[in-house]
């Protein structure tokens, strides 16, 4: 247990499993009041039960009324939101010539519009407080692209665009905005890929393995904490050096 986030209120989207859940647990260990959000009430309840000092809220990042409702409840109860981790994301992979319009639209809606919705609704409360930290989930795919991920790559490149723009707009107001670009992490989403592709990724990493959700949680922790007080507008690659 530490106190790097003592008394901070942190909203984490897509926090019922994977990197989001690991981040929720890590933040709780460091003294934060963690607001776990995800699309399923059952999933957030389960995640909140396993996380000290956490509350679970069902929230759909693509529905502004849903986001507004959760943010209003958090403000009413805690009076502040210090940290926003825009972690929620989905994949619907297909090569360009095979991708359906629905696959494209759904991924853009969650991964890009969802980040816009959450940040636009949370930031006014940070502005009022004169401080805050926003951390957006991009990806190495948002730096280098990836076969079969037209939609996902576009959103993750886009999230870096958000990050650089908001860092300029909000920095002088006391709000830092950064992004994390994870490589291939051993989450359900990645482990659902064919085994031969997972093995190929492991070979391409200079550390010879996939990353873990806990390792990504530490990167989010650094960027959200006061230790990163002069870090603003970065897209931090945490990939084991896969791009080298």
Residues with active-site annotation: 152
DSSP letters for 90-155? ----B-TTT--HHHHHHHHIIIIIHHHHHHHHHHHHHHHHT-EEEEEE--THHHH--TTBHHHHHH
Q: Residues 6 or more apart from 36 whose CB is under 8 A from it? A: 12, 15, 16, 20, 21, 24, 44, 47, 48, 51, 54, 55, 56, 57
With tokens 């076969």, the residue in question is: 147
Strands 83-86 and 54-58: what pairing?
unpaired
With tokens 């989450």, the residue in question is: 187
């Amino acid at each position: 247990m530490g106190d790097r986030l003592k008394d901070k209120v942190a909203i984490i989207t897509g926090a019922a499993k994977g990197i989001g859940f690991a981040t929720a647990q890590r933040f709780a260990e460091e003294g934060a009041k963690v607001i776990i959000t995800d699309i399923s009430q059952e999933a957030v309840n389960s995640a909140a039960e396993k996380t000290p000092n956490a509350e679970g809220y069902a929230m759909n990042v693509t529905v502004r009324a849903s986001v507004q409702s959760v943010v209003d409840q958090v403000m009413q109860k805690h009076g502040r939101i210090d940290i926003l981790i825009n972690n929620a994301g989905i994949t619907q992979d297909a090569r360009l010539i095979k991708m359906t319009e629905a696959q494209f639209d759904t991924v853009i809606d969650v991964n890009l519009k969802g980040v816009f919705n959450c940040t636009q609704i949370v930031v006014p409360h940070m502005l009022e407080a004169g401080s805050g930290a926003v951390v957006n989930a991009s990806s190495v795919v948002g730096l280098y692209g990836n076969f079969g991920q037209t939609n996902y790559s576009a959103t993750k490149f886009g999230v870096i665009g958000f990050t650089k723009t908001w860092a300029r707009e909000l920095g002088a107001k006391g709000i830092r905005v950064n992004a994390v670009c994870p490589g291939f992490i051993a989450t359900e989403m990645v482990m659902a890929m064919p085994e031969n592709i997972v093995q190929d990724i492991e070979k391409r990493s200079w550390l010879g393995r996939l990353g873990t959700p806990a390792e990504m949680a530490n990167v989010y922790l650094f960027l959200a904490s006061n230790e990163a007080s002069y870090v603003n507008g970065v897209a931090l690659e945490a990939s084991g050096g896969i791009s080298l």
